Chains A and B, each alone.
Chain A
């Protein structure tokens, strides 16, 4: 009943490259999923060159936020960001989302938030708890690089304990690898 190890499997990696490899900042070097981590620094890739500093001017006259935090969070003003498998850098295709989040946070400077780091179920529980911490902090650091005061943002990792989507395919997994924003104060 003992299966000998076979040589490095590339199935998962291959699947990932198809679904997510389209727009990473550097071309993924080789198919193996762990190749990246030779330089393990999570560099939050703060390249907000075309950060839309243009017009946060949204007639400050009437606009208000719901008083109730639960109501406010349901509005979905802050959009979740998604990660590649076993990765914690902000993907190139998530930068617009983050820029939008930062813009909204600049508009409402008293809002405080917690970033939750989540993982899909394929990794191991204990490592994923630490991976979620990396994702939450990478998300926070990116917001900070866009000018958001670090004191407004706390982080927490849920690892793979609180999946958003049930399911055992890449479409579910990709939904569960995320940084999720919860507004904690108005």
Chain B
């Protein structure tokens, strides 16, 4: 049994809806309604939910094991294991069998492994299709609180795992996790001095190139609806702001009269971008329509102004300036008025990134030594540093559910994209080929 060839087009359409006609393997009890458990998180007082996620059961076969069971389990356990809502029970403590547990004794054997819930999955094939059944069991009641069957269709087994992981998170939090989201970034892997844009899944899988300028393509931003990417391109002089729709071949240069033209940021409505443009050697923050219409200069300072980011409500722009000495992050409204300094500590702050709810700002911070990733709570003014250790950390970007941050980490001569929870937990290295930077997380969850 083989899966369909890997899907390479960006505009892939998937048939991943739960198969309503499919019955899960005889459940121990009738599926209960999801609402039964939706209060668990608050009841637990913020503690992580203990999940057992054993490898899926499947027909014994080497090819099924290597092509389906292993990648499925790695993906599912990777998703849920790095989610801030869960802690995975140690697989070496899982009981043998009892899938699902049907007696109190069997349930207690799972509880003894440290789990409150069991995510039991089965993989089987039907013709050329792959069917995955999943049920989430409350080990205290032995009742499933979620039971669904998924048809892989032409999609990869990894994608099925992400869909299931999203369903599990949604079950407890009401919102999906970041498991089906993607990250756009810049990489030099295909040419010594060039950088092209790439896209990858949130966990670093499915990396694929999306620009072919044979030049520098850097500092991308992703429109809020997930359709467009804008970036700084050096394919012509002066460097320009280019954008394209994912899945469409056209690359459009925004006509502007400025030079520099760096660090574009989409407005939430996707109609304009803020960017750093230079007139006679003075970098200022501009906003311009995607078609070049209504260019407006928002700053007026002889100092450096750079790195603009629209706030998620579209009414303000954060940017970096050295107008009062060292580079620090400021906030202004869309008229360029009401300028106020946001970062009050450290000797260098840059690359602001608003959390999806607009309440926090991640940025590259430095006091001494290397850059780290800091998060400033815009309500309390409190700053926490989420990275540590050797290496320079830059260009943070939030996952659309606000639980994780991706950034670039330079250690020695190697720069790679990493991600972690906003408390620094669940650290993962996402890239390894060449040098990779400027990650920007898709803003839609699915």
Contact = CB atoms under 8 A, between A and B. Distances in A.
A56 interface: no
A8 B276 contact: no
Given A2-B384, A11-B368, A125 B219 contact: yes
A162 B368 CA distance: 25
20 contacts: A3-B385, A5-B345, A5-B385, A6-B367, A8-B347, A40-B302, A126-B219, A126-B262, A126-B306, A127-B306, A129-B260, A129-B306, A130-B262, A131-B304, A133-B259, A133-B283, A137-B281, A156-B259, A158-B234, A166-B413
Interface of B: 193, 195, 216, 218-219, 232, 234, 237-239, 259-260, 262-263, 276, 278, 280-283, 301-307, 320, 322-327, 345-348, 350-351, 364, 367-369, 371-372, 383-386, 388, 392, 394-395, 410, 412-413, 424, 437-438
Given A126-B306, A130-B307, A156-B259, 8 more contacts: A2-B424, A5-B345, A9-B347, A34-B322, A125-B437, A129-B232, A130-B283, A161-B216
B276 A130 contact: yes
A9 B281 contact: no
B348 A42 contact: no
Nearest to B326: A34
Contacts of A41: 302
A33 to B, nearest CB: 7
Contacts of A158: 216, 234
A38 B276 contact: no
A157 interface: yes
B306 A32 contact: no
Contacts, number: 154
Contacts of A12: 368
Given A42-B302, A156-B239, A127 B307 contact: yes
A148 to B, nearest CB: 15
Given A5-B367, A129-B262, A140 B281 contact: yes
Cβ-closest 3 pairs across A and B: A137-B281, A9-B368, A34-B326
Given A125-B395, A130-B278, A134-B283, A40 B263 contact: no
Contacts of B386: 2
A34 B323 CA distance: 10
Contacts of B320: 124, 126-127
Nearest to A135: B281
A154 interface: yes
Given A2-B384, A126-B307, A37 B193 contact: no
A136 B351 contact: no
B409 to A, nearest CB: 13
A45 B306 CA distance: 24
Contacts of B283: 130, 133-134
A113 interface: no
Contact of B325 (A35, A127, A161): A35
B322 A124 contact: no
B21 to A, nearest CB: 49
Query: How big is the A interface, by class?
Result: 35 or more
A80 interface: no
Given A2-B424, A40-B303, A40-B322, A133 B260 contact: yes
A124 B415 CA distance: 13
A130 B302 CA distance: 12
A127 B365 CA distance: 12
Contact of A134 (B263, B281, B367, B388): B281
A41 B281 CA distance: 11
Given A2-B384, A2-B386, A129 B346 contact: no
B375 to A, nearest CB: 10
Contacts of A141: 281
Contacts of A159: 262
Interface string A107-124: 000000010000001111
B281 A42 contact: yes
A67 interface: no
A49 B410 CA distance: 45
Given A125-B351, A126-B306, A136 B367 contact: no
A113 to B, nearest CB: 13
A126 B351 contact: yes
A65 interface: no
Contact of B394 (A32, A125, A156): A125
A146 B412 CA distance: 41
Interface string A72-115: 00000000000000100000000000000000000000000010
B364 to A, nearest CB: 5
Nearest to B219: A126
A38 B323 CA distance: 7
Interface centre among A1, A8, A140, A158 (most CB of B within 10 A): A1
A138 interface: yes
A81 to B, nearest CB: 15
A139 to B, nearest CB: 9
Contacts of B216: 158, 161
Nearest to B307: A126
Given A126-B263, A161-B216, A2 B385 contact: yes
A28 to B, nearest CB: 14
Contact of A133 (B281, B303, B345): B281
Contacts of B193: 162
Nearest to B438: A125
A129 B384 CA distance: 27
B259 A155 contact: yes
A137 B322 contact: no
Contacts of A156: 237-239, 259
B237 A154 contact: yes
Nearest to A167: B413
A126 B438 CA distance: 10
A124 B364 contact: yes
B347 A33 contact: yes
